[in-house]
């Protein structure tokens, strides 16, 4: 029989993979493919992707196949593979970034005639075009979106790896993984990532098992960076090494077992925030680049490079900010509460554009999701659809006292503060009180913040 192409994207797993399951159920031999396209991903994400592909290829080889690796435009590479293999069909999972959608459109226009093309919504709890207000417009505030999404009902149960998968024997040309140049060379800055993370489906499933201990006190402790109280599932979800359905069902099961509905609901709410961010990107494609509230195009930002560099290096003189930025650079991850604190400091204390901070996060985060990153930075800046009030300006000193009350998190990432002499640690680069007043004046200069139209 003619084979089918299984195009892996951000679904780098074998279990509960809709495209894989459908391809297996077709009864035709499968050729698994991964194509590195021209979408921008940062250094930390490239490191994770390399190791995720290593893991996926190893899992496939245990089942009798290997991953065909290509690099280039997906429509061109898939067309070549279809001709070279005589494939009859293509199976893949949709993505929702603007460039991803354009690439999918090119694939459909070039391949739909010679191939039977099958695309699946497989990375969210709900398709972004499915949930609309009563007037048929997109939701712009999280709480109504969450209520509407929650009312849809329970998620379908996750499905296991198909018991029988027939893979095609072929002689297709495949790049070797090192040829994709995903790993850093000189300098090798990834030691902290290697010490912190293990990429791949197996590691992601282990983390789901660990969620039970997180659910127990998640509603009470999730804002404490000094505690190991969050799931750290975000990079595994981002690369699709685990499915959101697997996390949803595991959380509900742990809730019943622990009799703690509040902890489980707080964690499930984060899954819906993830959905909502992608929902916003789907309906407002300019989200990563332009403020959704149009008056912010006139915001009087500052361009102080020395302040930006101090923020990037974790040398602002504000311990909770610097601890977060150093955690990011060393591990490729930062606690969510601290992400809000460092973002508020950059945007409001330093008046540096949110796009600059968003770009730094995209380059340094292993879970650098374009939708979540863009929506979160616009929320902090006050320019998004569901934005924080413009007058809410985090005091980094008070935030540190509240969420790192014993200073454990700060001391972990700023060891010079634990020394008897602290000469290496800088004085604050700005006075927060004065910076707050400057920010309020800047925001008042665009007072239409609460009544503005949203950019398309």
Q: What is the pLDDT of residues 277-296, one digit of tens each?
A: 999 999 999 999 999 998 89
Name the 3-class secondary structure at 218.
helix
- Give the closest residue to 74 by CA, choosing from 97, 105, 47, 48: 105
- Sign for the CA dihedral angle at 335, 338, 342, 347 comes to positive
> pLDDT at position 200, please?
98
**Backbone dihedral angles phi then psi of residue 85, each to the nearest 5 degrees:** -100, -15
Cβ burial of 341 (10 Å; 0-12, 13-18, 19+) is: buried
State which CATH number among 3.40.50.720, 1.20.5.50, 1.10.579.10, 3.40.50.620 fits the domain covering 294-450: 1.10.579.10
- Please state, in angstroms and as integers, the Cα–Cα distance from residue 415 to each residue in 8, 283, 326, 386, 408, following that order: 42, 44, 11, 37, 11
* Nearest-angstrom CA–CA distance, 241 and 159: 14
Phi-psi region at 452: left, alpha or beta (left = phi > 0; alpha = psi -120 to 50): beta
Within 13 Å and on the Cβ side, how many CA atoms surround 336?
18
DSSP run (H or E) holding 90: strand 89-93
Q: What is the pLDDT of residues 393-452, one digit of tens each?
A: 999 999 999 999 999 999 999 999 877 566 789 999 999 999 999 999 999 998 755 544
| Per-domain residue ranges of the chain | 4-122, 124-153+200-283, 294-450
- Fold adopted by 4-122: Rossmann fold (3.40.50)
Q: Classify domain 124-153+200-283 by CATH architecture.
A: Alpha Horseshoe (1.25)
Within 13 Å and on the Cβ side, how many CA atoms surround 410?
23
Q: What angle do CA 270, 271, 277 make, to 5 degrees?
A: 90
DSSP run (H or E) holding 32: strand 30-36
Name the 3-class secondary structure at 327.
helix
* Nearest-angstrom CA–CA distance, 421 and 429: 20
User: Which residue ranges in the chain fall short of pLDDT 50?
Assistant: 451-452
Other CB atoms within a 10 A radius of the CB of residue 249 amount to 18
> pLDDT at position 292, please?
93
């Amino acid at each position: 029989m003619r084979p089918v192409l299984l195009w892996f994207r951000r679904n780098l797993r074998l279990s509960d993979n809709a495209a894989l399951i459908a391809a297996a159920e077709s009864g035709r031999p499968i050729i698994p493919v991964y194509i590195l396209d021209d979408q921008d991903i940062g250094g930390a994400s490239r490191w994770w992707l390399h190791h995720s592909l290593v893991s996926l290829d190893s899992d496939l080889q245990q089942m009798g196949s290997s991953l065909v690796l290509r690099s280039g435009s997906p429509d061109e590479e898939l067309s070549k593979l279809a001709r070279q293999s005589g494939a009859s069909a293509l199976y893949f999972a949709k993505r929702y970034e603007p460039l991803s959608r354009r690439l999918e459109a090119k694939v459909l226009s070039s391949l739909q005639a010679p191939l039977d093309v099958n695309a699946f919504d497989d990375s969210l709890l709900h398709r972004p075009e499915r949930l609309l207000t009563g007037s048929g417009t997109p939701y712009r505030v999280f709480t109504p979106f969450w209520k509407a999404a929650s009312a849809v009902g329970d998620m379908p149960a996750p499905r296991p790896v198909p018991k029988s998968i027939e893979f095609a024997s072929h002689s297709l040309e495949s790049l070797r993984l090192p040829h994709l140049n995903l790993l850093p060379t000189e300098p090798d800055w990834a030691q902290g990532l290697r010490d912190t993370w293990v990429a791949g489906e197996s590691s992601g499933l282990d983390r789901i098992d660990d969620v039970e201990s997180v659910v127990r006190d998640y509603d009470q402790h999730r804002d404490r960076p000094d505690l190991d109280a969050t799931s750290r599932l975000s990079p595994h979800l981002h690369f699709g090494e685990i499915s959101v359905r697997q996390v949803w069902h595991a959380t509900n099961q742990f809730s019943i077992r622990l009799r703690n509905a509040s902890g489980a609901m707080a964690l499930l709410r984060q899954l819906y925030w993830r959905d909502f961010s992608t929902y916003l990107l789907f309906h407002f494609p300019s989200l990563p680049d332009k403020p959704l509230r149009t008056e912010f195009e006139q915001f009087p930002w500052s361009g102080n490079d020395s302040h930006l560099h101090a923020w990037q290096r974790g040398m602002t003189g504000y311990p909770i900010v610097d601890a977060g930025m150093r955690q990011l650079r060393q591990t490729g991850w930062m606690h969510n509460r601290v992400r809000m604190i460092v973002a508020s400091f950059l945007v409001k204390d330093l008046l540096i554009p949110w796009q600059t901070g968003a770009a730094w996060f995209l380059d340094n985060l292993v879970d650098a999701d374009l939708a979540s990153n863009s929506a979160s930075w616009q929320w902090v800046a006050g320019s998004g659809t569901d934005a924080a009030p413009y007058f809410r300006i985090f005091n980094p000193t008070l935030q540190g006292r509240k969420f790192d009350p014993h200073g454990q998190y700060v001391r972990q990432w700023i060891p010079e503060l634990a020394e008897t002499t602290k000469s290496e640690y800088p004085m604050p680069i700005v006075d927060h009180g004065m910076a707050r007043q400057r920010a309020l004046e800047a925001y008042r200069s665009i007072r239409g913040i609460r009544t503005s139209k949203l950019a398309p």
